[in-house]
Structure 1
Amino acid sequence: MSRLVYKNFFFLFIVQFSNYVLPFLVIPLLTRALGLDGFGKYAFYIGIGNLLLVFIRFGFEFSATRQISIESENKERVGQIVGAVLAIKTCLLVLTLAVFYLVVFILKPDVQHNILMLGGMFLLSGQMMLPVWFFQGMQQMKFVTFYTVVTKIVYVGLLFLFIRDTSDYGLATVVYGCGFFIAGAISLIHVFKAVPVSFPTWLLIKDTFKEALPFFSSRVFIMSYTSAMIPLIGFIGTPAQAAIYAASEKLYNAAQSVMYPLANALYPHVAKNKDLSLYKRLFLIAMVVVLFGGVIGYFVAPVIIEFLFGSEFKASADIFSIHLVALVFLFPSMMLGFPLLAALGFSKEANGVVIVGALVFFAIALYGYLSGIVDSQYFVWGVVAAECTVFVLRAYFAKTRVFNHLAQFSKKEPV
């Protein structure tokens, strides 16, 4: 069974690699063709789209993954779950498109609003269709891996073909969105061929929605101090400031992409098999890798940033050094959350602590705003404080809810 976890980890790693690392091939093209302001606009509108993705995902990558992993041998039941998830996600797509329209046409208008809206439509629609939660639950990540990698290669190729100067930032968002749309459409066709997807009953929709709601709530609070940073800087600052922060965040997200596959591969396995010995072994190995990688990243990041983004982005290295501190807390927190607590039925504890972390960030951000602090490094330190808080609380619940309980159970075992 552990071989299946390793196999799905590999496929999930490839998906994350294509989502975060492969686009780095085109960053030198984008930053040099679009310039600091053009890249800042591109990053801002992509950031708005990525911010809205949390509403379309709605926590189904956790709730639906767990449900499908438990019912994976009952195709009829899986088809019912898929139908309910798609029905909810379709309604959420309409709402998020309306919000994106509001931003592009009213709150932050742009001369390229029509093409920006098209890019947002492709991005959000593609995410609505992309059933990663299905493939994770069925532990069949090789299919979504193939579709995702192929479309990302097409994305990179199209950028090289069409992006030429500073006015192409709108076209760049369309190409970015098309990658998600194509991957989502092809993957969804595969799902309909794999299981008998049925039109859901109102009761099933209600139960599926209710099951996902706690996970969605935690994602919203996490989003408030992670994904919202670029849109926030774009609203209150200049495109150049958004570009400087976005360069660091791209490296930060790329580092996270190495971590997510392990957590996502373990989650359905632990939920179904309660395999804590494998969990502990992989947790310790991964922590060594993360700490070692963080030290290396601190020294090589300035060189990488200047090489990828250009000399105009040197200030991003200072921001990224703080992002590295956040990663030290983020990874163990991530591993303690859904692959352990939520998988074993303690989703309330795994999700609830995120609210506390967000409140810590809001308090720090509010103090900075009232004190007239506008330096983005200050707010990134707020992210570090939030991640540290979530880690400490999840570690406490893991000890009291899981490991202390197992120790007490072992003492009662007959010798």
Structure 2
Amino acid sequence: MRYIFKNYSGEEKTVAKNYSSLVVLQGLNYVLPLLIIPFLERQLGLEKFGLVMLAQYLMAFCVAATDFGFNVTATREISILKNQKGDYSTLYFKVFWARLILLLIVFMLLCLIVFTVPRFKVEWHIYLLSYGAVMGQTLLPDWFFLGIEKMKFLTIVNVGAKILFTLLLFLFISSPADYHYVPIFNSIGFMTAGLFMFIVSMKYVSWQWPNFKDSSLFYKESFQVYISNISSQLSYAANGLILGIFAGDAVVGIYSAFDKLIIAVRKMFLPFYHAMYPYLARKSFYEKKGTMKKLIPTVTIFGCIVFLLILFVGEWVVNLIYENIEIHQNVYLFKWMGLITLFTGLSSLFHSLYAPARKLFDQRMYMMLISGIFNISLSLIIVPYFQLQGTVIAAISTELLLLFIAAYFYRKDQLNG
């Protein structure tokens, strides 16, 4: 590994090392779904599998709500403090205490939803047990380690937690009656990583009690990202939730079988974007512009290759890893969902890398809000009639719209910059 990095110097070496660490973690995110999702589909059956996946879609909203956009704003501010050799403590604990308060508020809201909506009340314990993953994600200071550009140890801990979760599943789940273990083990994995990395982060900061003075601008920018992230979940988690309401757990199971594979593939771009973000945030406008001109054609070509692979070998992959005949009968939908990987790779380049690096938080908010509202509106119109097919149409259409909007804002910024 040292031999690989010796040709790099300074910031380039840091980016390369962080990217390598994130690639290892993302590689695990490719492999594990190929093991876990088919295993759960076989052991739990389509209905119980769909139920635990429905709970995970709901938890995605909760994670976005408790983060409050700090994954973007705090990472950027920490990277600037690192460059200035400043103290991290004040910013760290502004984020830490705010997230703990949000964790409590979101839990109360979750309880309200679970115990008042009949669709969720029947299996209320699954949703509350799943909240442990949100607790672990709230404690996990991944934003901090991204900001200080020390991803190696964070990657090791995350990998360990994911392997622990996987082993527990394979050891203890053998029938549909064991479905309640899935949220328990998932929570154990997230809590283990969150607590461990929180303890490690304490060596970089000095303890501080809540102090929110002189934080209005930081929280305002974070709120804009927060709205963006919540809106983004309207383009992801809402698909599974709306489908579950109108079509039932079994159909959610079919959609999740495809969606989890697509998510694993679409996330292939994130390690690079995450590694580049602190670096790009410190650069001038013209340096950012030059970097983007190089990235856009590369991401486009790579995304096209991935889509073609899914189109031509997707059926073989699905038939290989899943046993359920209903999943096999709907494999054509999985092929077309491959378009999502192409659209997401490009739109994320604009809204997850360029816009935050340029502090275009309001533009990013508009992008995500428009696409999120569009997704929910379209889903509510077509899913009651077309069910699974309607959800897939809504998901693809939303990602295409987001790409057009992101490209528009990017072009506008380039002309005005």
Contact 1:62 1:133 in 2 (8 A): yes
User: How many angstroms apart in 1 are the aligned matches of 2:124 and 2:372?
Assistant: 32
Contact 2:88 2:204 in 1 (8 A): no
Paired AA for residue 246 in structure 1: S
Residue of structure 1 equivalent to 2:406: 394
Paired AA for residue 67 in structure 2: R
**TM-score if structure 1 supplies the norm length?**
0.90
Residue of structure 2 equivalent to 1:413: none
Q: 1:97 to 1:69 in 2, by over 3 A?
A: same
Alignment of 1:72-221 (within 5 A): 72-73=82-83, 77-107=87-117, 108-109=119-120, 113-114=124-125, 116=126, 119-204=129-214, 206-221=216-231
User: How many angstroms apart in 1 are the aligned matches of 2:136 and 2:275?
Assistant: 22
Is 2:62 the counterpart of 1:52? yes
User: How many angstroms apart in 2 are the aligned matches of 1:8 and 1:22?
Assistant: 21
- Give how far 1:34 is off: 0.4
Contact 2:224 2:362 in 1 (8 A): yes
- 1:155-183: per-residue Cα shift (whole Å, max 9, x none)? 11111110010011111111112111111
- Give how far 1:206 is off: 4.2
**TM-score if structure 2 supplies the norm length?**
0.89
- Give how far 1:280 is off: 3.3
- 1:259-313: per-residue Cα shift (whole Å, max 9, x none)? 1112222221111124433443344323222211110111222222222221332
Paired AA for residue 355 in structure 1: L
Is 2:394 the counterpart of 1:382? yes
Alignment of 1:16-415 (within 5 A): 16-19=26-29, 21-73=31-83, 77-107=87-117, 108-109=119-120, 113-114=124-125, 116=126, 119-204=129-214, 206-274=216-284, 275-276=287-288, 277-312=290-325, 313-368=327-382, 373-402=385-414, 404-405=415-416
Q: Which stretch has the larger CA shift, 95-104 or 293-302?
A: 95-104
User: How many angstroms apart in 2 are the aligned matches of 1:183 and 1:75?
Assistant: 27
- Give how far 1:104 is off: 4.0
User: How many angstroms apart in 2 are the aligned matches of 1:320 and 1:182?
Assistant: 33
User: How many angstroms apart in 1 are the aligned matches of 2:245 and 2:376?
Assistant: 17
Paired AA for residue 390 in structure 2: Y
Q: Which stretch has the larger CA shift, 222-231 or 310-319?
A: 310-319
Q: 1:324 to 1:224 in 2, by over 3 A?
A: same
Contact 1:338 1:347 in 2 (8 A): no
Q: Which runs of 5+ in 2 are unaligned?
A: 1-10
Contact 2:55 2:127 in 1 (8 A): no
Aligned length: 402
User: How many angstroms apart in 1 are the aligned matches of 2:149 and 2:50?
Assistant: 38
Q: Which runs of 5+ in 1 are unaligned?
A: 407-415
Contact 1:81 1:208 in 2 (8 A): no
- Give how far 1:398 is off: 1.8
Pairwise CA RMSD of aligned residues?
2.2
Q: Which stretch has the larger CA shift, 215-224 or 297-306?
A: 297-306
User: How many angstroms apart in 1 are the aligned matches of 2:135 and 2:385?
Assistant: 38
Paired AA for residue 15 in structure 1: L
Q: Could you list the runs of 4 or more consecutive aligned residues of structure 1 that deviate by over 6 angstroms after TM superposition? A: none
Contact 1:329 1:387 in 2 (8 A): yes
- 1:84-140: per-residue Cα shift (whole Å, max 9, x none)? 1111110111122223333444423567644x2553232111011011111111111
- 1:220-245: per-residue Cα shift (whole Å, max 9, x none)? 11211212211222222211111011
Paired AA for residue 333 in structure 2: I
- Give how far 1:31 is off: 1.2
Residue of structure 1 equivalent to 2:3: none
User: How many angstroms apart in 2 are the aligned matches of 1:343 and 1:42?
Assistant: 36
User: How many angstroms apart in 2 are the aligned matches of 1:53 and 1:325?
Assistant: 26
Contact 2:103 2:135 in 1 (8 A): yes
Residue of structure 1 equivalent to 2:17: 7
Contact 2:61 2:233 in 1 (8 A): yes
Residue of structure 1 equivalent to 2:4: none
Contact 1:245 1:316 in 2 (8 A): no
Contact 1:76 1:196 in 2 (8 A): no
Contact 1:18 1:148 in 2 (8 A): no
Q: 1:169 to 1:99 in 2, by over 3 A?
A: farther
Contact 1:16 1:257 in 2 (8 A): yes
Q: 1:28 to 1:397 in 2, by over 3 A?
A: closer
Q: 1:110 to 1:24 in 2, by over 3 A?
A: farther
Paired AA for residue 287 in structure 1: T
User: How many angstroms apart in 2 are the aligned matches of 1:205 and 1:348?
Assistant: 18
User: How many angstroms apart in 2 are the aligned matches of 1:326 and 1:290?
Assistant: 9
Contact 1:84 1:208 in 2 (8 A): no
Contact 2:130 2:187 in 1 (8 A): yes
- 1:6-53: per-residue Cα shift (whole Å, max 9, x none)? 222222233333345424322232111101111111111222222211
User: How many angstroms apart in 1 are the aligned matches of 2:122 and 2:362?
Assistant: 45
User: How many angstroms apart in 2 are the aligned matches of 1:64 and 1:90?
Assistant: 15
